[in-house]
Amino acid sequence: MEMDESINIFGEALIGCGGDPVTGFFRDNMCNTSPQDVGSHTICIEANEHFLAFSRAQGNDLSTPIPAFNFAGIKPGDTWCLCAMRWLEAYQNDSAPRVHLRKTHIKALDIVPIELLKKYALDLS
């Protein structure tokens, strides 16, 4: 499976999103993507309880552990490579989590405008 170039939304080298729990479409702790990543797991978020409850209500329970898949569940404060459409849906429902822009893949901009992401940025100075 070929991976798209690891570039963030600023055109710089993509920085790792996390490590515990392991994240990313490729489970490389980066929000890398490829044509096979139909969900576009490209936005590095910091989870919070409000977002996790929203996601659970939408049928995507990210907080419940699934030992069979070696998944401990996401807790508030964890970082995670989120699907760009899920982030946009959360934004449209006043539930969007904060974002690490330098850890967010440039392909996220195919779905979410950079201006929206900047409003939720954790790493803009």
CATH number of the domain that residue 61 is part of:
3.30.56.110
pTM recorded for the entire structure: 0.94
Rounded-to-integer distance, Cα 103 and Cα 35, Å: 19
Report which of 106, 90, 91, 77 is spatially closest to residue 11, judged by C-alpha positions: 106
The enclosing H or E element of 64 equals none
pLDDT one digit per residue (tens) for the chain, 125 residues = 688 899 999 999 999 998 888 899 999 999 999 999 999 999 999 999 999 999 999 999 999 998 887 788 999 999 999 999 999 999 999 999 999 999 999 999 999 999 999 999 999 86
R_g (Cα) of the chain, nearest Å: 13
Domain that holds residue 34: 1-125
- Compute how many other C-beta atoms are within 10 angstroms of the C-beta atom of residue 68: 6
Total number of domains constituting the chain: 1
